[in-house]
A and B are shown apart, each in its own frame.
Chain A
Amino acid sequence: MNVAIELLSAALLLVGATFYLAGTVGLLRFPDVYARLHTLTKADNLGLGFIILGLAVQADSLMMACKLLLIWPLVLMASATVSYSIARRADEMGIAPISGDGDSA
């Protein structure tokens, strides 16, 4: 396999992993449901996106790459809808967001 592709792939994978890490840390550190939903819908999805991209570049056929890439929008749609549903439910139940002014923990 082409070294360049391998390097590219590795880089993409590492970036993806970093996003995952961030997502997890966010999940643990963020103060309330709403904020945690942010990490889920953004960091983790991005992490997955990069990983998929990293794997897709080293796929041995175009179709395989397409199949990998197909997964990402599916996950995106799912997580957007789920986070919307959960946020909406939380709002309906009157769970107020924890509001800070910029540097609260």
Chain B
Amino acid sequence: MTLNETLPLTLLTSSLLPGLVIFALPESSISLRTALNLFGALAKLALVGVLLAGVQAGESYGFRYAVLPGIELVLKADALALLFVTLSAVLWLFTTVYAIGYLEGSPHRSRFFGFFSLCVTATTGVAMAGNLFSFFVFYELLTLATYPLVVHRGTAAAMRGGTIYLTYTLIGGALLLTGIVWLYSLIGQSEFTHGGVVSTLGPEYARQLQIIFFLLIAGLGVKAALVPLHGWLPQAMVAPAPVSALLHAVAVVKAGAFGIVRIVYEVYGVEFAQLLNLLTPLAVTATITIIWGSFRALFQDDLKKRLAYSTVSQVSYIVLGVALFGPIGTIGGLVHLVHQGIMKITLFFCAGNYAETLGIHKVSEMNGVGRRMPLSTLAFSIGALGMIGAPLTAGAISKTWLINGATAAGMDWAVWALWISSLLNAAYFLPILWRAWMKPLPATWPHEHILAHKRRETSWLLLLPPLGTASAVLIVGLFADAAWSPLAWAQFIAEREYLQGAP
């Protein structure tokens, strides 16, 4: 095996192996576990760096392994894969640090971090999957690895949330599997290719392909929380904060959205999908989801639920970007994949901090929290402003590209939808900020766990990650034109799609 074949596998192993070892660790070996976690995260990041440099230099990384005759497990680190891998690797590092702080002293940490690592491994796999079979393998692995995290607390509410999560995702998985096998039975094994692979089938297959597309999108839509398949996401809020961060920003919803990107661009091909009239319904669904999610978020008093509905809405920006025929929309969608991740994870980290430090779970309890926890609240504010699309933040970049894309595609209603959504975003985030900064402090907090001493408002393990990601929100916004920015990478991908995909 050459180095180019080994690297993708090593990338997987960098989180899988520490995860497996962690499973076997006794509860008491805290330092070893921490070391393993951090080692895994850093090693992964380093590997991603190597791959990024390589891909930019035109190297191609691929690994294939036959499972059955005619069915191969294919991993490849192409530009699109690396976009997602980079995002998850960076955010995983933050989340790991955060989780170590968050779970300090709680039981079953070996199990937690074991599944945590497994979860990231699955995400990496989803990103690097080179064909639908491989994609499905990691996609379902992700479901399985997240379930124990969702129910980690072992309470009745956690179990209920877990069951709902599972019901949705497994049914989604079943639909996806049906679609994938159907496609295999038509075209055999084929790898993700720019411009798609199904266009070789004759017009008599159009109807079948449409049904398959519906099945695939429905299957992926569950994880991507497309309305009406989004029901699990607010329920899964019972999970610990790092898990929510993982679900919303790094792994689960992203895997769904990423899958849709792969399907549209590299299975059907965006031109062929347009030909089959598949893009408009997708765009409409995404738009409805965007509006509906924002609208529901307005009425949530539970902070994490409000954030969850916000996720429902924001993830569909990506889908919308994909569904907008044309390179600009594509760039908007792809870049939002990254931007939404950074922003949303910041928000969840902060929400976790409020809950862990002061026992705050509801928006109505947040009066004056900015004075008690200024750094967290600062990070939260940056994330929230980014979500609204305020200038100088990451959110502004993606929204601009999306609106331009919609205009370019001639979908004015989408432009309107984006504007309305931004207004709604402001409507549900700004009151929070106002409460946090402006309202007076209450006499007591709901449940204060960690006392402030001096300038540190809470444990530094909980504080550093949100500050880091919040800075990232600003940095990617400010330096969007730099060669290393996510935007540049998204442009790189979109160029290939529309250049090579063109007949």
Contact between chain A and chain B defined by CB under 8 Å: no
Q: Which residues of B contact A (CB under 8 A)?
A: none
Residues of A within 8 A of B (CB): none
